[in-house]
Amino acid sequence: GQGVDEPLSATGFRQAEAAGLFLSNVKFTHVFSSDLLRAKQTAATILGKNKFCKDLEIKYDARLRERKYGVAEGRPLTDLKAMAKAAGEQCPSFTPSGGETLDEVRERARDFFEFLCRLAVELEQKEPDRQGAASRGSAGSEEQFVFPWTNHCSEAELGSDNGGAPKILDANILVVSHGAYMRNWIGYFVSDLDCTLPTNMTKSHLSSVSPNTGISHFIIKLENGNFLKPEITCVCLNQDSHL
* pLDDT digits 0-9 by tens, 98-132: 999 999 999 999 999 999 999 988 887 777 655 43
pTM, two decimals, is 0.87
Please give the Cα distance from 187 to 99 (Å, whole number).
19
In this structure, are strands 160-161 and 165-166 parallel, antiparallel, or unpaired?
A: antiparallel
Q: What angle do CA 56, 177, 97 make, to 5 degrees?
A: 145
Q: What pLDDT digit, counting tens, does each position of 208-236 carry?
A: 899 999 999 999 999 887 777 899 999 99
Detail the residues annotated as belonging to a binding site for substrate. Answer: 38, 66-69
Detail the residues annotated as belonging to a binding site. Answer: 38, 66-69
CA 217 to chain centre: 7
pLDDT higher than 60, residue 241: yes
Taking each helix axis as running N to C, give the angle between helix 37-48 and helix 10-22, from 0 to 180 degrees, rounded to the nearest 10.
40
All domains of the chain in start order, with CATH? 10-66+101-123+170-239 (3.40.50.1240)
